[in-house]
Amino acid sequence: MHNAEIAQHFDELADLLEIQGANPFRVRAYRNAARIVGDLAEQVATVVGDPARKLDEIPGIGADLAAKIATLAQTGVLPQLEELRQQVPLGVLQMTRIPGLGPKKAAALHKELGLTTLEQLRAACEAGQVAALKGFGKKTQQAILEGLEQVATAGQRLLLAEVEPVALELVAALREVPGVGQVEPAGSFRRRRESVGDLDILVTADNSADAMQTLADHPRVTQVLSRGETKMRVRLKIGLEMDLRVVPKESYGAALQYFTGSKDHNIVMRRRAIERGLKLNEYGLFRDDQPVAGETEAGVYAALDLPCIPPELREGRHEFEWAEAGRLPRLIEPGDVQGDLHMHTTASDGAASIREMAEAALARGLKYIAITDHSQRVSMANGLDATRLRAHWREIERVRAEVPGIEIWKGIECDILEDATLDLADDVLAEADWVVAVLHYGLKQPREQIMQRLRNAIRSPHVDAIGHLTGRMIGRRPGADMDVEAVLQELAREGKMLEINAHPSRLDVDDITAARAKELGIPLVINTDSHAVTGFDVLQYGVHQARRAGLEAADVANTLAPDAFRQLLQRRRPPR
């Protein structure tokens, strides 16, 4: 089992226990386990298979959890989870996927109305039965109806980070097949979309049957749906369908370009071909049936008077305008990032100490970090009040002197409260090196209230950046209702920064918003929101998002060296 699958199992275990009203600390332990495993760069199965290593050496994983993780990694089954699945109807668990519903309300719907399926829930809402329940009401009932539509489509896509380890494993297996040459994923996966609906892998091979049989026999494949001479469609155990396409070497570049997409990008490519008296398709670029290009992507683009456009930009937005003008951006790379300005320690809901986080960041080549534990409003995450925060900052100052090679800044992830005030007093925030303000609660408030909260936070002289702007969780929770353009204009006026949260389930802000922020001159910061020493490894997903927005290193403030970043911060801060 891959880490993402293990994490999903622990999330499901926590949901089922919460539905049953289990001890909240027990539920939280399994949620923490899901997060820790999901953030690990190394596969748990590798650790389990090494007799010299122990899972409970991973911060936040005790002996009991380690045993359960090992069982899942080795067998793919967790007896406790299987038992709970028998006790709780599947439909009740599915109700927890409805934005804003959660395990407790799903349990209430099951207990009070006897609902066991989403279809029954829809009927109960339409009949007004849900609104009559204590703690629900008409607004909640309407929100459930709207959420049911979202759940119906959410299952069709998986997070990029969930698909990636499986895709890379399949690619690696195909590369080992004798006679197989080039192997590359295509589609939305190659464009690094934040979620993936299906998977395409292209190969060149001397014998297509060998490549197809390798895929058919792979343990990640649960069913062969169709099989021809050059194309095979399978269903993967993670729930996605996948196409394997075996293409001739002379057509590989054209096929890779075609199947990478997007549709809008390819429409422009075909139009450019027609304008030049050419025909472009997945087999190549032709003039009167004579091949002009097709073996490489670069050759196809060059024949259409274009540089090779990076896959992340192929959305039919500005890429052709930039390419024709010689202004294709030199997209940011993970190695460009020198600092990480959003992370958590054991002071709130993290799994590692200040020192452990600093040493892990240093090992990854970072030059500076800001420790940003939660403020007091997030009580479920052990948020810090003023007294605890100041003591925490004193500890940061102590550790700072003991870990050479990296700067450790005193930060805080400060909640923007429902009444549009900040969670900590001005005199406390004034002592911080870095303040990132966020929305955690009240995401369903009316737009004007959300906007007032954001305006007040942005105008605070103590706030340096807005973190995970909308509060969305991809496929599970929509973001708050806001006028994004007005927020960006406010950020630009006040000289504040905007975060791209790299956590794969957030990737907030999205690529379109990040691109608009660049246009307005708003510095962006790519942060991992790490809760463990392995959490830094999600940085790549934030960088993917930035690349899709067309961002270069100069557009991202934490690509600056520590001194340069501090100077930028001081220039943009009003007098405190």
Q: Which residues contact 64 (CB under 8 A, 6 or more apart)?
A: none
Q: Class assignment of domain 334-572?
A: alpha beta
Question: What does DSSP assign to residue 188?
Answer: H
β-pairing, 434-438 vs 465-466, is: parallel
Q: Write out the residue limits of the CATH 3.30.460.10 domain(s) in the chain.
A: 158-246
50 by Cβ neighbours in 10 Å (0-12 / 13-18 / 19+) ranks as exposed
Question: What does DSSP assign to residue 244?
Answer: E
Q: How far apart are the first and last CA of the chain?
A: 51
Which option is the CATH number for 3-154: 1.10.150.110, 3.40.50.300, 1.20.120.1760, 3.30.565.10? 1.10.150.110
Question: What does DSSP assign to residue 523?
Answer: P
9 by Cβ neighbours in 10 Å (0-12 / 13-18 / 19+) ranks as buried
Query: DSSP letters along 270-317, please?
Result: HHHHHHTT-EEETTEEEETTEEEE-SSHHHHHHHTT-PPPPGGG-SSS
Two tokens at 244? Answer: 């394997």
Q: Write out the residue limits of the CATH 3.20.20.140 domain(s) in the chain.
A: 334-572
378-422 per-position pLDDT tens digit: 888 889 999 999 999 999 999 999 999 999 999 999 999 999 999
Fold of 158-246: Beta Polymerase; domain 2 (3.30.460)
Predicted confidence at residue 576, as pLDDT, reads 62
Predicted confidence at residue 237, as pLDDT, reads 87
Domain 262-324 has CATH 1.20.120.920: no
CA dist 529 → 409, 500, 532, 536 (Å): 15, 10, 9, 8
> Which stretches of the chain drop beneath a pLDDT of 50?
154
Predicted confidence at residue 94, as pLDDT, reads 87
- pTM for the predicted model, two decimal places: 0.80
Predicted confidence at residue 41, as pLDDT, reads 63
Under 8 Å between Cβ of 194 and 474? yes
123-160 per-position pLDDT tens digit: 999 999 999 998 898 988 988 988 887 666 545 689 99
Give the residue from 458, 459, 461, 462 showing the smallest Cα distance to 439.
458
Half-sphere exposure of 293 (CA within 13 A, CB side): 18
Under 8 Å between Cβ of 375 and 384? yes
